[in-house]
Amino acid sequence: MALSNLSSKSLYASPHPLSSNNQLQSHNHQQQPNLSVWKRTAGGSRSNLPSISAVHAAEPAKNPVKASPAAAAPVAAPAVSSPAKWSVDSWKTKKALQLPEYPDENALQDVLKTIEEFPPLVFAGEARSLEEKLGDAAVGKAFLLQGGDCAESFKEFNANNIRDTFRILLQMGAVLMFGGQMPVIKVGRMAGQFAKPRSDAYEEIDGKKLPSYKGDNINGDTFDEKSRIPDPQRMIRAYCQSAATLNLLRAFATGGYAAMQRVTQWNLDFAERSEQGDRYQELANRVDEALGFMAAAGLTVEHPIMTTTEFYTSHECLLLPYEQSLTRLDSTSGLYYDCSAHMVWCGERTRQLDGAHVEFLRGISNPLGIKVSQKMDPSELVKLIEILNPANKPGRITIICRMGAENMRVKLPHLIRAVRRSGQIVTWVSDPMHGNTIKAPCGLKTRPFDNILAEVRAFFDVHEQEGSQPGGIHLEMTGQNVTECIGGSRTVTFDDLSSRYHTHCDPRLNASQSLELAFIIAERLRKRRIGNRGFLGM
C-alpha cells in the first residue's frame, strides 16, 4: 500500500497497533460500540456530544474528548484498593519532582487547553492489546524488544531517521523471533520520548551557570539564557511531531514495508558489508526459504500476519501537564487511558510511592513500566507494584532493570524473590544502557559495548538461576551510523566518538551494535529453548 494512498481508516480502524488485519477489525467492531461521551455542564447536567471515536473506534476523532476534572467526575483508580479517589489532576496534590517551572502560567494553561482539544495519538484498544502481549512475555511466551532514541529532537526529525530506526527494530525482531521461536513485541521509544529527567537542575560551562536542558518539549539545548527558559509552546510542537511520526510508523507497519517477504531488503546500506550484515543476510535467506516452502505447500504468504507488523510506542511519563492533557476516558470500558503513547514508564527519579507521578500512573490503564536500579529496596518495589496494579493483572507492570552487570547479579535476585513471594505478576526487562555510562577522555559520555553485553548476560544468568522469565530488552539505540558507544565488532574507539556523535542526551547503540546485541540475545533465547547448540555459527 503506497503511503499516499493510506487512508485514515486504514491508519486508525484496528484496535490492534499499527496493523491492518481486516478480520480482527471486523471482530472488534462487533464487540465494541461507538463511543458516546458526555460533558457535564456547570449545573451538573449532561449535554450530548455526537458519537465519536476519540479513544477506540473505526474512525479518527472529529471532536476530541478531554479528560479534565470538568469533563468527568473523579473515579476510583482502576483496581486500586485504596478508598482515595483518583482524577486526572489528583497528581497536583502530591509532590512533583523533575517538572519545569514555567514563567507564564497563563501561557501554560492556554497550551494545555489547546492540547486537550487535540485528537488522541493512540487508542485504548491498542494499549489493551499491548498489555495482553506483555502478559505473555511475563510467562515466557513472548519477548519484548523496546528501543529508540534517548531523547527525540526537533532538529533530527525527518522521515529517514524514523524509517532507519523502525527498520533496525524490524531486523532485530526477526533475529530474536528466529532464535527464540516466539513472538517478539516491538515497542519504540518513539513518537513522544522528548522529556528527560536530570540529576542537576543547573549546568555550568566556562563559569556560566544555566538551567539544565530537559528535552525539546520543555526547553532548548543551546547554552544560552533564552533557550533554557521552559516554553509551553514546545509541547504543541512535540505533539505535532509525535502525530507525524505515528502516521509514518503506521504506514510502514501496514503498507507493505514490514512484510516478512521483504526481510532480505531491511539491511541498512552501511551495515551490508559488515559481519553483522552478513549474519543477518544469512538469517534472511533462511526465512526466504521457509516462505518459499510455505508457498509451495499452498499456504498463503499474503495473510495480514505476514504482510504487516504490530508496532507500539512508549515514552517516560515525566511531563505530567502534557500527559494529563492527552488523557481520555474510554466509554467502552469506563477507564482512563493516557493517549500520548501505548505504554509509559515511571523513571528512577520519579517513582516515589507518595509522589505525583505514581499518583497519575495509578489511575490510567495503559501498561506501565517501572525503571529500577540497584538502589531499589525489594519491599518498596512490592509496595509500588501494589499501588499500580493491585488487581495483579498480567501485562500491566513491566520492571525495567538498569543496574550494571555486577549489581545485576547481586541485587536482581532479591527483587525477583520479593516479587515472587508477594504473588505479583510482572514482566522482567533488562535496560543495559543506563548503568554503564562513563565519560571518555575527550569529555563525551559513552557506553562500552562490552559492559552493555555483560549486563545482558547477567540478566539472563540471574533469571536462569532463579527460575524466572527474562521478558525483554530495553535499549537506547538508533538506525543511524553514529559513533556514541565504544566497542562492538566494528570497533568504535574513544578517538572515533567525535566523528559522528549526534545524541542530544545519552549515547546510543548504532545499527550494527544493535544488531550484534540482538544475535547474542537470540542465542540465549535459543539455548533456553533447545539447549546449548550454536545459532548461525555462533
Cα separation values, 42 from 74, 324, 522, Å:
15, 21, 58
The residues with which 397 forms a beta bridge, in sequence order, are: 368
386 is in an annotated binding site: no
% helix / strand / coil in the chain, to the nearest 5?
40, 15, 45
Question: Is 349 marked as a binding-site residue?
Answer: yes
Q: Give, to the nearest 10 degrees, the angle between helix 233-254 and helix 105-117.
A: 20
150 is in an annotated binding site: yes
Pairing of strands 397-401, 427-430: parallel
Asked whether residue 421 is marked as a ligand-binding residue, the answer is no
**250 is known to lie in a ligand binding site:** no
| Residue 302 to residues 22, 178, 513, Cα–Cα distance (Å) | 13, 20, 32
For residue 346, say whether it is annotated as part of any ligand binding site: no
Compute the distance between CA of residue 390 and CA of residue 78 in angstroms, rounded to an integer.
9
Cell of 90: 489528583
What is the dihedral angle through the alpha carbons of 167, 57, 326, 257, rounded to the nearest 10 degrees?
Answer: 10
CB 343: neighbour CB atoms within 10 A? 25
CA distances (Å), origin 7, targets 12, 88, 251, 424, 451: 9, 32, 10, 42, 45
Give the cell for residue 446: 559513552
Q: Is 189 annotated as a binding residue?
A: yes
Grid cell for residue 339: 493517549
Alpha carbon of 152 to those of 105, 194, 504: distances in Å? 26, 5, 8
| Backbone angles phi and psi of 78, in degrees to 5 | -55, 125
The length of the chain in residues reads: 538
Q: Does 402 belong to an annotated binding site? A: yes
Name residue 475's beta-bridge partners.
147
DSSP one-letter code for 388: H
Q: For residue 435, what are the contacts with CB-CB under 8 A and spacing of at least 6?
A: 373, 374, 402, 403, 404, 405, 407, 408, 455
Cα 424 to Cα 76, 382, 387, 410, 413, distances in angstroms: 21, 8, 12, 21, 15
Residue 198 assigned to a binding site:
no
**Residue 181 phi, psi (nearest 5):** 50, 45
Amino acid (1-letter code) at residue 229: I
| DSSP-H helix ranges across 326-469 | 356-363, 378-388, 405-422, 449-466
* DSSP code for 34: P
Contacts for 137 with CB less than 8 Å, ≥ 6 apart: 143, 144, 185, 395, 427, 469, 471, 472
Residues 6+ apart with CB under 8 A from 426: 138, 385, 397, 398, 399, 419
Q: Which residues are annotated as a binding site for Mn(2+)?
A: 150, 434, 476, 506
Binding-site annotation, residues: 150, 189, 348-349, 371, 402, 434, 476, 506
What residue numbers does the annotated binding site for phosphoenolpyruvate cover? 189, 348-349, 371, 402
